[in-house]
A = this chain, B = another copy of it.
Amino acid sequence: MPLLVVGSVALDSVETPCETRENVLGGSAVFFSYAASYFSAVRLVGVVGDDWPHQHTQLLQKQGIDTTGLQMVPGAKTFRWRGKYQPNMNDRETLEIHLNVFETFDPVLPPEYRKCKYLFLANGSPITQMKVLDQMPEAALKVADTMDLWINLQRDELGQMLRRIDGLVLNDSEAKLLTGDENLVRAGHKVREMGPKFVVIKKGEHGAMFFSKDETYVMPAFPTARVVDPTGAGDSFAGGMMGYLAEKGNATPQTLKEALAYGIIVASFNVEDFSLDRMKQIKRADLEERMKQYRQMLSF
């Protein structure tokens, strides 16, 4: 089933203890789309300026991603982010953020996009996210991401948005910020009580936790010795998860658990190089091979 994602499309500058890369392809909707494309048809909605290199669009199209919804605004600049990772490669600092054309992003979905049954609202304000929800009355599974910025600045709107979605994906620090609870098990369920039927807390190198009314579980990250750039790990996790749900065409507890595992596997590849550089090298078979190792790792 086709999967629609609405989110940021960006040019990232990434500083790690080993190396710095300037203006590489990034953005939540980009990482998400590429990850999801291993599993299902993906339609991307986002906005860029006329500084956007056309080869980035071509890369996404080559992967089968429908970029009809990627709007180019003449005279405007693309969203830019600069971040620096600590030696542990898990904590990072945002050095610069220029929303540029993303600041006034007002997504209007092409008519055929509105029929998508699977929807992911990547990084964006809850106000924008709700505008998308307004256009998607027929979506069967609506999942969103959020971040500290919106928890701090638009908590009321975030609260409204949470009552309109099926699932929320957020970081551990964001779950603590949103609930004021330092225990992630309690925090996960408190977020769930704000509206979504399920909540996924991303813990970076420590994996992910899942919460529904009847289930609480944790899945570890796939252990990798090669962590070059964690940027986009959370979005590629969400992309793998949602792509798999769209492929299966259901969101039963069993499928959701498999989907979380696929998200973890995709993210473990994403961190192995800058931008989409590692993802560009892999095929579905590579994901399946690592999934087999992951299943073995968790069997005893």
Q: Which residues of A are in contact with B by a Cβ distance under 8 Å?
A: 87-89, 182-186, 189, 203, 205-207, 209, 216-221, 223-225, 227, 254, 257-258, 261, 295, 297-300
Contacts and interface: CB of A to CB of B under 8 A. Distances in A.
A89 B182 contact: yes
A88 B300 contact: no
B218 A221 contact: yes
A186 B225 contact: yes
B182 A88 contact: yes
Nearest to A90: B182
Contacts of A224: 185
Q: Copies of this chain, how many?
A: 2
B216 A223 contact: yes
What 4 A-B pairs have minimum CB-CB distances, sorted nearest first? A218-B220, A206-B206, A257-B300, A185-B225
A298 B258 CA distance: 11
A257 B297 CA distance: 9
Contact of A258 (B183, B220, B300): B300
A261 to B, nearest CB: 6
18 contacts: A88-B182, A89-B182, A183-B225, A184-B205, A184-B223, A185-B224, A185-B225, A189-B225, A203-B206, A206-B220, A207-B220, A209-B223, A217-B297, A219-B220, A220-B220, A257-B300, A295-B300, A298-B299
Contacts of A185: 223-225
Nearest to A217: B297
A50 B294 CA distance: 52
Contacts of A261: 300
Contacts of A227: 183
Contacts of A219: 220, 298
A78 B234 CA distance: 49
A183 B89 contact: yes
Most buried by B among A217, A258, A295: A217
Nearest to A222: B218
Given A89-B183, A183-B225, A218 B300 contact: no
Contacts of A217: 223, 297
A225 B299 CA distance: 25
A300 B260 CA distance: 10
